[in-house]
Amino acid sequence: MKNHHMRNALSAVALGAVLAACSSFEAEQVNGVQSVEPVPAALAAGEAVMAAHSSVFSDEEIAALEARMADYVADGHVRGIATRLVHQGQIVSDMHTGIIKLETQTPIADDTLYRIYSMTKPITGVAMMMLWEEGKFSLDDPITKFVPEFENLRVLDGENPDGSPKLVDAKRPPTIREIMSHTAGFAYGLSGDDPANTAFRDQEILRAPDLETFIAKTAEVPLLFQPGEQWVYSASVDIQGYVVQQISGMSFGEFLDRRIFTPLGMDDTAFVVGEEDYARFSEVYAPHPETGELVPVPYDWVQFTPETASFESGGGGLVSSMDDYTRFCQMLANGGALDHARLIKPETLELMRTDVLGDAIELTYGDGSDASGHGFGLDFGLILDGAAAEGNYPDGTYYWGGAAGTWFWIDPVNDLFFIGMVQEFESRGADDLRAVSAEHVYAALADAAGE
């Protein structure tokens, strides 16, 4: 499989506007008490620890994995990298190397904070499904039940004779299921020169000061297609954040903190980085347009301070740490629970990682890479056919990534997950990080098994 498209599903698609800027360079929840087996102490404490390699992995291949990841720093492709492989709740590989601050040469540490961008999306999806389990909505509910501003959505339908966009009425409102699977028709503004994506950029909708303004502006932009007809990566997960806010009566950030982050012990995950934590917040880099050197991106929208942050974006607004995202992934790997906190039921997670596209809707990534064997569930990308995808991932693996190069996948067949953290826009030879990491992980499994 051309695994780099798992990164590009967000990175290349979602960074059209970003790269244009860079190139110019100026505990148990209310769902009911249920006893859950605690995870091993290393994860339960949220500690980044080196663990002895599991007997089911080849020590040589794990060492090769860590050395290859370090090579990306040594070869100048990224300034810093951290990766973690967890198998059956035990950390098998944990490495980090490189820097988070160019001027001070501050090294990556266990507690480094990263922009996870679209790795926010699965967290938002879990928040939605917690409310779904409580009976607060049906997946087939129209979005207008919670966002009446979308009552009169219009749809692009070619051009008028004078070159202006031709618009028609939406045949029906998008459903929640379509909002959660990028089949609702909304644009994103991160690529594309059509009127809808252009409007997202021109109106700086993704820089709206609050979710209410984001919704009001989005309501004025036409859909790219009639709801349910296509798959296009979109701003629909930001809409989900607004739905969570509307249903819960809390701000989106408050809901995440109370219902997900606090129960899971994700103390470093938030929409802003406080002054007391800024020293451990990695810079994000991009090649200088003249020298090619990786330099910090100088724009306020990458700073995530209280003064520079925009609305609480369910699609890409969170900052997190390796330990925190490990705890989130372990919760998923456990079927929706961690320690004594159950967020969602196993069958709910199964629903989230079930393909909703079928044969009727083609999955196409905006970078043009091959999506054969892939599908999409509710806020997760899916591996439906590992052989067709030409990859090492078993069928049933689910994944996503972030615009600055972060990535993760969860493999239920082998009870493992892998997380990678880098902070870089416009890759300089690091597009294959996912492919290479997976190659080594599954080679380590195969070698240990004597295959």
Burial pattern 405-430, b for ≥16 Cβ within 10 A else e, equals: bbbbbbbbeeebbbbbbbbbbbbbeb
Q: Please choose, from the candidates 365, 368, 363, 352, the residue with its C-alpha nearest in 3D space to the C-alpha of residue 401.
A: 365
pLDDT score, position 428: 66
Residue labelled with tokens 């100026």: 26
| Three-state secondary-structure class, residue 341 | strand
**Which of 127-136, 389-398, 422-431 has the largest mean confidence?**
127-136
Mean pLDDT across the stretch 382-409? 91
Instruction: Locate 28 and state its tokens.
Output: 């148990």
Q: Write down the pLDDT at residue 371.
A: 82
Left, alpha or beta for 282 (phi > 0: left; psi -120 to 50: alpha)?
A: beta
What pLDDT, on a 0 to 100 scale, did the predictor assign at position 57? 94
User: How many Å apart are CA 445 and CA 88, to the nearest integer?
Assistant: 13
CA 251 to chain CA centroid, nearest Å: 21
- The end-to-end CA distance of the chain, in Å, is 21
Q: pLDDT band at residue 368, thresholds of 50, 70 and 90?
A: low
Residue 368 makes CB contacts below 8 A (sequence gap 6+) with none
- Please tell me whether the overall predicted TM-score, pTM, comes out greater than 0.85 for this model: yes
d(CA 235, CA 237): 6
pLDDT at 321 over 70: yes
Between strands 341-342 and 165-169, the pairing is unpaired
Q: What are phi and psi of 146, to 5 degrees?
A: -115, -20
| pLDDT the model gives residue 451 | 59
Q: Which residue has the higher pLDDT, 8 or 185?
A: 185
Q: With contact defined as beta carbons under 8 Å apart, do 42 and 418 qualify?
A: no
Cα–Cα dist 77/68, whole Å: 12
Measured between alpha carbons, how far is 68 from 65 in angstroms, rounded to an integer?
5
383 vs 34, which has greater pLDDT?
383
372 — pLDDT class (breaks 50, 70, 90): confident
* 212 Cβ contact list (under 8 Å, min separation 6): 242
* Structure tokens belonging to residue 19: 């790269």
Q: Residues 6 or more apart from 181 whose CB is under 8 A from it?
A: 231, 356, 357, 376, 377, 378, 379
* Nearest CA among 424, 451, 406, 434 for reference residue 68: 434
Q: Within the chain, how many helices (H) and strands (E) appear?
A: 15, 16
> Closest by alpha carbon to 50, among 80, 72, 82, 79?
82
